[in-house]
Amino acid sequence: MVSISREPVALISDKFLSFTVDMAQVVGRDWWHPDTRRIWSLTGANHTEPFDFSRKRLRNMAKNLAPAFLKIGGTKSDDVFYAVDSKNPGKDYGSVLTMDMWGSINDFAKECGLDLFFSINAGKGPRKNKQWTGDNAREFLEYSKEKGYEIPVFGFGNEPNGYIIKGLNWFVSGRQYARDVIKVRELIDELYPGSRLAAGSSSFWPYLGEFFPVMRQFLKNNTSKVDIVAWHHYPQQSSRIPFATRRAKPFLLLDPKKLDAVSRWAAKVESWKEKYSPSSALWLAETGHAQAGGEPGLSDTFVSGFWWLDQLGLLAKKGQEVVVRQTLSGAHYGLIDDESLDPNPDYWNSVLWKMLMGTKVYDAESKEDIRCYAHSARDEKSIVLLLLNLDKEYSKKIDLGNTLPKEVFMLSSDDLFGRNVFLNGKLLRISEDGTLPDLLPVETTEESIELKPTSYAFIRFLKNTSPE
């Protein structure tokens, strides 16, 4: 039987599920090569054209995920020069963000109902003697303010603990990073008062955690009091990179112990935040099914949904305010295939999460061997359950404990490693212009439901219910 706490255990943002477009995609830099068998790289090895934000189908598909933050970040955000005028970037800049590119990002976000989360360059380019100088960032923010661009959240740096292994050949200490953040904070307060600053952004690897530790030292020396403590985590690594602490495997993330592993790192970051920056929010500011572009045949298939929905449920219950998915489109971990603009299964999962799950999070438990999460409904008037059956062989009969009228959104596939998603037995297809089909539930008053092997379901109670 499913039991739900009487009172919420956490409150999350209405933009809890958010997503990225990587700076490498924006400017047309090295991105993840589609052939994982031949190309090993830590930062991508396939040159791409600048991202086309004007595609109507993509815009309509992004609108279906609003409200959300659109994060512009990633490794290449730390070597980009903001080309406000005709100045030539120095030798330590690797790419250029033109103001036309920047304008297209803002136009896309505004039309799609998205709030920008922009990561400011913390790399070698804007540094002198390892100390960050804000000249280029100031020009960029002054230009953005003059244009009337809204930037509710700024980040600073992408995984500074990993600079030394990403071809940047240098290391910034937590103390230095804290001094840099003070300068960024002052710049934002001057030009964008009221905008929030997210900082930290260390990457936590499976088993290993935060290699070359930076975050704790940063928070200990953080006198600027950042608004958001940000961190990154991927549960496994794709076959694109030459070394891994947990290589992506077909059934790996159907193991409850592997799914629970994110809680270890979330708890560690939360403990540092509570000790050194208790007033800050906590965001998982970058995550995906498999680090380094995702794993073909896994990250873009139905099996990824068990990890994605379970991680959303776990971290919401732990009070993480926002979770940012890498990426909206592109590589194999994207919600959308960037060439065809066809939805990957996690796009459908994300749409249904947005449609159904509200901001109040309850503790939910089940005696049956399933994963179980509970939120207020999107309209805050009732309760929605998310149930996941990880078992590859056996169905699970779930006792819901009441005969109230309810709507069932049952999701399944004819191939665990395929891209087809069926909602209550009907294949989901998006229209040519990116408009959603009718996402229709099955109504029932039955006290129990059956979850078939490797399937999951959202269940929305129709009456104004409160947990009992």
Closest to 197 in 3D by CA, of 138, 251, 166, 156: 156
What Å distances lie between residue 115 and 68, 75, 85, 265, 286, CA to CA?
Answer: 6, 21, 26, 27, 16
Closest to 355 in 3D by CA, of 439, 462, 413: 439
Q: For the chain, list the domains and their CATH numbers.
A: 12-360 (3.20.20.80), 362-461 (2.60.40.1180)
> Do residues 185 and 224 make contact, with C-beta atoms less than 8 angstroms apart?
yes
Three-class SS state of 318: coil
Token pair recorded at residue 389: 């059956």
- Annotate 436-459 with DSSP letters as a single string: PPP---EEE--SEEEEPTTEEEEE
Find how far residue 34's CA is from the centre of its chain: 21
- Cα–Cα distance measured from residue 430 to residue 427, given in angstroms and rounded to the nearest whole number: 10
- Cα–Cα distance measured from residue 119 to residue 8, given in angstroms and rounded to the nearest whole number: 32
Reading the chain (468 residues) residue by residue, the pLDDT tens digits are: 899 999 999 999 999 999 999 999 999 978 777 776 655 566 666 678 899 999 999 999 999 999 999 999 999 999 999 999 877 888 889 899 999 999 999 999 999 999 999 999 999 899 998 899 999 999 999 999 999 999 999 999 999 998 877 655 678 899 999 999 999 999 999 999 999 999 999 999 999 999 889 999 999 998 878 999 999 999 999 998 888 999 999 999 999 999 999 999 999 999 999 999 999 999 999 999 999 999 999 999 999 999 999 999 999 999 999 999 999 999 999 999 999 999 999 999 999 999 999 999 999 999 888 999 999 999 988 999 999 999 999 999 999 988 899 999 999 999 999 999 999 999 999 999 999 999 999 999 999 999 999 999 999 999 765 544
Sequence letter at residue 167 = G
Global pTM reads: 0.96
